[in-house]
Amino acid sequence: MENKVTVLGGGSWGTAIAISLSSKGISTGLWDIDQAHVESMINSRENKKFLPGTLFPEALTIYRNEEEAIAGADVVIFAVPAQFFRSAATAAKPFLKKGMTIVNVAKGIEQGSLMRLSEIGKEIIPEYPYVVVSGPSHAEEVCLGMPTTLVSSSNDEEAAKKIQNLFMTDVLRVYTNSDVCGVELGGALKNIIALGAGISDGLGFGDNAKAALMTRGLAEIERLGLAAGARSETFAGLSGIGDLIVTCTSMHSRNRRCGIMIGEGIDTQTAIKNVGMVVEGIFTCKAAYELAKKYDVEMPIVNGIYAIINDGMDPKEVVRKLMTRKRKSEK
């Protein structure tokens, strides 16, 4: 068992992971760039901003200084929004030491470069074993000890197993998967479909529409994934359909909540502000739209959501266009 684990990022998911690990008696550090947030967590021994009501275990230490947080850690977990991973990895790099394992729990694609987060990691901190942890996992449920399953994915099998063992508890089950590309794309792209599911709900549509959106959305995710080199079976697993289901159907999902407001007629920026947290699907939608062009992959649902978010197109008009597309076979 590791002597110390450090989580960088005091959002809901980073905090839930830190609580889970420290509840096992593992010496766990948590650091966040927002110093006011850090002070609040130190003083209250809970994350009042994102996970109010769950007190921190004794084994969880909140650090004011990033270097001190990382010092002596065997595993460093990045739990920052995807668009900030590059800057977070660059800032942490001087403090990383030989023998550490890097874990990333964020889900997204970097705008501009269109890089997956493991590709950014390989560029900035290539000397460390790198593991992606993904799957259907709301922080609010994990911190309450509700049964949850995850995937530990890496090109390094031993590193994937190491993190599997680290995260496993009697209520948190972890599987390994070597398809890093598929795991990352499934986790990132489902947020776009969740936005669409929320828009559908906001428009007042029913279960039929949502089921169709999720099913055809998964077909688009798989289509892009295969073009990028992922394996088909990954999208039938926890980081594919599993994550898609939980994000499209739960009110814990910030992407779905944002979509509901957009469907109700609230403009995108106001909806994002009302959610109060980073809505990854907004950023990922633009990246996926550009990736679809790059790989020449047909993604009508993603394109429609992009048009709503970025071009201000009426959601009802997007639905009409999707429903009246040229007839074709399901595949």
Q: Which residues of 37-55 are buried (b: 16+ CB within 10 A; e: fewer)?
A: bbebbeeeebbebbbeebe
Domain ranges of the chain: 5-178, 181-323
**What is the distance, to the nearest Å, from the Cα of residue 22 to the centroid of all Cα atoms in its chain?**
22
Determine the average pLDDT of the residues in 150-161: 98
Percent of the chain clearing pLDDT 70 (strictly above): 99
CATH superfamily of 181-323: N-(1-d-carboxylethyl)-l-norvaline Dehydrogenase; domain 2 (1.10.1040.10)
- 3-state DSSP assignment of residue 184: helix
Active site residues: 190
Is residue 266 packed enough to be buried (19+ CB in 10 Å), middle (13-18) or exposed (0-12)?
middle
Question: In which band, very low, low, confident or very high, does the pLDDT at 331 lie, cut at 50, 70 and 90?
Answer: confident
Identical fold for domains 5-178 and 181-323, yes or no, is no
- Across the chain, the runs of DSSP E, i.e. the strands, are 5-8, 28-31, 46-47, 51-55, 60-63, 75-78, 101-104, 130-134, 148-153, 172-177
Q: Residue 1: pLDDT above 70?
A: no
**In Å, how far are 39, 235, 259 from 225, measured between CA atoms?**
41, 9, 24
Q: What gap in Å lies between CA 206 and CA 203, rounded to an integer? A: 9
Residue 192, C-beta contacts closer than 8 angstroms, at least 6 positions apart: 217, 255, 281, 284, 285, 288, 301, 302, 305
CATH of domain 5-178: 3.40.50.720
Query: How much is the pLDDT for 151?
Result: 98
- Report whether pLDDT(2) > 80: no
pLDDT (tens digit, 9 = 90+) per residue, 132-143? 999 999 999 999
pLDDT at 194 over 90: yes
Per-residue pLDDT tens digits for 65-89: 999 999 999 999 999 999 999 999 9
151-172 core/surface letters (b: 16 or more CB in 10 A; e: else): bbbbbeeebbebbbebbeeeeb
